[in-house]
């Protein structure tokens, strides 16, 4: 039987606090979502002023990154490259930059999805959260 690390509630709080700090440092009103490796929501935090739709998009980006085992930007790039049929991929939503997997010892143990500002800024916030737990994502 194989074993792998999992996200604990304390881990999720560390990620969320660091992501929030990054967003606040930059004056960005975002929603921060953390999911487990199956894409199940563990944390949702909508900062004051974040657009209401961001509370739907952030978790979608996180689920996409967790289930796909890669940054959600990879799917955006595929679609922008002309493979629009990829939009029909089952269980993947919010295929936009801003979803980043949490990788520990080569295992994807969850993901962070952020929405509310430019996609590259969303990804910056997500990566700052992950870095607080595991170092460079």
**pLDDT digits 0-9 by tens, 80-95:** 999 988 888 888 888 8
Residue 128 confidence class, pLDDT cut points 50, 70, 90: very high
Q: What 8-state DSSP symbol labels residue 102? A: E
Question: Cβ contacts of residue 112 below 8 Å, gap of 6+?
Answer: 15, 19, 32, 33, 34, 62, 65, 99, 100, 102, 126, 129, 130
Torsion of CA 57, 63, 64, 65, to 10 degrees: 110
Query: What percent of the chain has a predicted confidence (pLDDT) above 90?
Result: 87
pLDDT at residue 89 in the model = 85
Place of tokens 């801003």: 98
pLDDT at residue 86 in the model = 80
Backbone φ, ψ for residue 56 (5° rounding) = -100, -40
Cα-based angle 73, 63, 68 (whole degrees, multiple of 5) = 60
9-21, pLDDT tens digit by residue? Answer: 999 999 999 999 9
Residue 23 confidence class, pLDDT cut points 50, 70, 90: very high
25-82, pLDDT tens digit by residue? Answer: 999 999 999 999 999 999 999 999 999 999 999 999 999 999 999 999 999 999 999 9
Domain boundaries, given as residue ranges, for the chain: 9-134
pLDDT at residue 7 in the model = 97
Torsion of CA 125, 127, 130, 131, to 10 degrees: -110
What CATH architecture is 9-134?
Answer: 2-Layer Sandwich (3.30)
Place of tokens 């737990």: 133
The C-alpha atoms of residue 84 and residue 102 are separated, in whole angstroms, by 27
pLDDT at residue 137 in the model = 64
């Amino acid at each position: 039987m194989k074993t792998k690390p999992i996200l604990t509630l304390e881990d999720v709080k560390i990620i969320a606090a660091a992501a929030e700090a990054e967003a606040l440092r930059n004056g960005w009103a975002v929603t921060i979502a953390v999911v487990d490796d199956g894409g199940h929501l563990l944390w949702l935090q909508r900062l004051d002023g974040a657009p209401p739709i961001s509370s739907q998009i952030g978790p979608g980006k996180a689920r996409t990154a967790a289930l796909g085992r890669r940054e959600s930007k990879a799917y955006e790039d595929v679609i922008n490259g002309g493979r629009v049929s990829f939009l029909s991929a089952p269980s993947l939503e919010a295929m936009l930059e801003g979803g980043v997997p949490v990788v520990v010892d080569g295992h994807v143990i969850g993901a962070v999805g952020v929405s509310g500002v430019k996609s590259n800024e969303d990804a910056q916030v997500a990566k700052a959260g992950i870095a607080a737990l595991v170092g460079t994502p």
